Amino acid sequence: GNSVTQMEGPVTLSEEAFLTINCTYTATGYPSLFWYVQYPGEGLQLLLKATKADDKGSNKGFEATYRKETTSFHLEKGSVQVSDSAVYFCALSDRTSGAGSYQLTFGKGTKLSVIP
């Protein structure tokens, strides 16, 4: 079956530090990969996505590259801000895993706190 493993938090960084949140996946087919972000008191928002190997998703200074050889989709940002404090979820969608399968498999989430 499909699964997503992401680094456990919480992660605490100083403002302007470099961020990496590791994510690896297991999938039976050819998944699309996503990073979602959840700010305090809100639902999840799509941050970025990549649909095939070697694609790079980017948004708001965040980047992640779909690495099929290492089954990874690590999230990076060069300089974090206090406003980036949130919970980050890695997810995959594998339509080929079953007819009519339109579901996301989520990692457990990584809480990021950025301090001034």
Partner 1 sequence: EADIYQTPRYLVIGTGKKITLECSQTMGHDKMYWYQQDPGMELHLIHYSYGVNSTEKGDLSSESTVSRIRTEHFPLTLESARPSHTSQYLCASSSTGETQYFGPGTRLLVL
Residues lying near partner 1 in the complex (CB under 8 A): 32, 34, 36, 38, 41-46, 49, 87, 89, 93, 95, 100-104, 106, 108-109, 111
For residue 3, the one-letter residue type is S
User: Which residue bears the tokens 């470099």?
Assistant: 18
Residue 47 tokens, joined: 């941050």
Residue 56 tokens, joined: 């790079």
What DSSP element (H or E) covers 76? strand 75-77
- Choose between 80 and 86: whose C-beta lies nearer to partner 1: 86
- Choose between 72 and 109: whose C-beta lies nearer to partner 1: 109
Kindly write down the DSSP assignment for every residue of 26-67, as one continuous string: E-SS--EEEEEEE-TTS-EEEEEEE-STT-EEEETTEEEE-B
- Cβ 98 to partner 1 shortest distance, Å: 12
- Cβ 78 to partner 1 shortest distance, Å: 25
- Choose between 18 and 39: whose C-beta lies nearer to partner 1: 39
- Give the β-pairing of 75-77 and 11-14: unpaired
- Cβ 19 to partner 1 shortest distance, Å: 18
- Cβ 113 to partner 1 shortest distance, Å: 13
- Choose between 28 and 101: whose C-beta lies nearer to partner 1: 101
